[in-house]
Amino acid sequence: MATSKELRIGLVGYGFMGRTHSNGYKRVNDFFPDLATRPVLKAVCGRSEDKAKEFAGQWQYESVETDWKALIARDDIDAIDICTPNDTHAPIAIAAAEAGKMVLCEKPIARDTEESIPMVDAIEKAGVANTVWYNYRRAPAVTLAKKLIDEGRLGRIFHYRANFLQDWTIDANLPQGGAALWRLDAKSAGSGVTGDLLAHCIDTAMWLNGGIDEVSAMTETFIKEREHQLTGKKEAVTIDDACLFHCKFGNGSLGLFESTRYARGHKALYTLEVNGEKASLKWDLHDLHRLEFFDHSDDSLIRGWHDIHCTDGDMPYMDKWWVPGLQIGYEHTFVHQVADFLAAIEAGEPCRPTFRDALETTKVCDAVLKSAAEKSWQTTGVDWQGS
């Protein structure tokens, strides 16, 4: 099908996530030729005009803005995509929705639940298309895990286990705050590994296994003071460097989650495992095209873990890429999210996770942080709608 309709994108933020999203917009029609909609990189917005211009040149955005309000006011923009630090998500998303723009937002939607609720209200009141970039759902092996679970192949689920381990903040001389380091400043980020990394694990977990009802957590901040990049002064570190929690899902299964930025040697080790009565599955971001699957109904003489290389054309998304055996990677999860967003707007359907779905993830993060602070079990108040 020839693409006929333009979706004019206004991107806010030119950091790492700005690059992943831009790549998604640029690649999508080459590989998803059935889509009738074509993203057009209309404008990139950032506080530094020089950096915005450099980014626009590299990624071929047509123009540059330095004030997101001016970007939202433009008649030639259909969708605002938010890739800025977490403390700026709410005002941009609310203003964009009120202006009738579609809104795409990098995860987590905001710093906490309180800040997220007015965003969801504004989006739903305006009735605009929206999505939040929890991209790992769209790794083909993870989407396959969802299919196997939904088909009932695991049977009753007993356990869900996930880790997200990194090591990039071990150096005590690493400053906090400001460009590229806002994730270390709770004022900008809201929290540390809980909102940045466990939010991914929680989104995938609830998508695969349903809502999380109760949590019990502990957090630790290993380096108590760091120089702040913006003030040049030593300031208290208020993010969680590590977080462990266990939980109960609405379906009665038990969950165990761990995240840290102090696991020397691990760069982005996101792993998950689900154990059911009939079968189990495992996935590892460092080997993202594989799904490990154990099926107890296999003939006992050959029963064991299947190592499924998710590259054949009947695997989720894989008919769009190369030939069997040739794998894809991290950046493709963002291409898939763009493809699903375009397909959803063409069909007039929501693109999951919506802002409302992402709010439920933020509720779990808040309950985790409260549990750690108060050393007590917390109910999450999650109302998971199954997607």
- Judged by CB under 6 A, how many residues of this single chain contact ligand SOE? 4
Confirm if 360 and 370 have CB atoms less than 8 A apart: no
Residues 127-186, interacting with ligand SOE (CB under 6 A): 166
List, as one string, the DSSP characters of 206-225: HHHH--EEEEEEEEE-SS-E
Tell whether residue 196 is a contact of ligand SOE (CB under 6 A): yes
- One residue of 70, 180, 268, 326 binding ligand SOE per CB under 6 A: 268
Residue number, 196 or 241, with CB nearest to ligand SOE: 196
What mask, x for binding ligand SOE by CB under 6 A, covers residues 197 to 236? ---x------------------------------------
Residue number, 133 or 249, with CB nearest to ligand SOE: 133
Query: Shortest gap between Cβ of 359 and ligand SOE (angstroms)?
Result: 17
Residues 304-323, interacting with ligand SOE (CB under 6 A): none
Closest of 103, 57, 105 to residue 79, by C-alpha: 103
Residue number, 81 or 196, with CB nearest to ligand SOE: 196
Tell whether residue 240 is a contact of ligand SOE (CB under 6 A): no
Residue number, 17 or 369, with CB nearest to ligand SOE: 17
List, as one string, the DSSP characters of 73-109: H-TT--EEEE-S-GGGHHHHHHHHHHTT-EEEEESSS
Question: What is the distance of C-alpha 144 from the center of its chain?
Answer: 18
Query: Shortest gap between Cβ of 135 and ligand SOE (angstroms)?
Result: 7
Query: Shortest gap between Cβ of 250 and ligand SOE (angstroms)?
Result: 26
List, as one string, the DSSP characters of 102-127: EEEEESSSSSSHHHHHHHHHHHHHHT
Query: Shortest gap between Cβ of 361 and ligand SOE (angstroms)?
Result: 12
Query: Shortest gap between Cβ of 266 and ligand SOE (angstroms)?
Result: 11
Question: What is the distance of C-alpha 249 from the center of its chain?
Answer: 20
List, as one string, the DSSP characters of 266-316: -SSEEEEEEEESSEEEEEEGGGTTEEEEEETTS-TTT-SEEEEETTSTTST
Residue 27 has, within 13 A of its CA and on its CB side, a CA count of 17
Tell whether residue 81 is a contact of ligand SOE (CB under 6 A): no
User: What is the CA angle 280-284-285, rounded to 5?
Assistant: 145
Residues 20-59, interacting with ligand SOE (CB under 6 A): none
Residue number, 19 or 200, with CB nearest to ligand SOE: 200
Residue number, 43 or 165, with CB nearest to ligand SOE: 165
Q: How far apart are CA 8 and CA 5, in angstroms?
A: 10
Closest of 352, 353, 291, 358 to residue 147, by C-alpha: 291
Residue number, 220 or 331, with CB nearest to ligand SOE: 331
Quickly tell me which residue has 């002064």 as its tokens: 233
Looking at residue 47, the DSSP 8-state letter turns out to be: S
Residue number, 29 or 259, with CB nearest to ligand SOE: 259
Residue of closest CB approach to ligand SOE: 196
Query: Shortest gap between Cβ of 358 and ligand SOE (angstroms)?
Result: 13
Residue number, 183 or 228, with CB nearest to ligand SOE: 183
Q: Which residues bind ligand SOE (CB under 6 A)?
A: 166, 196, 200, 268
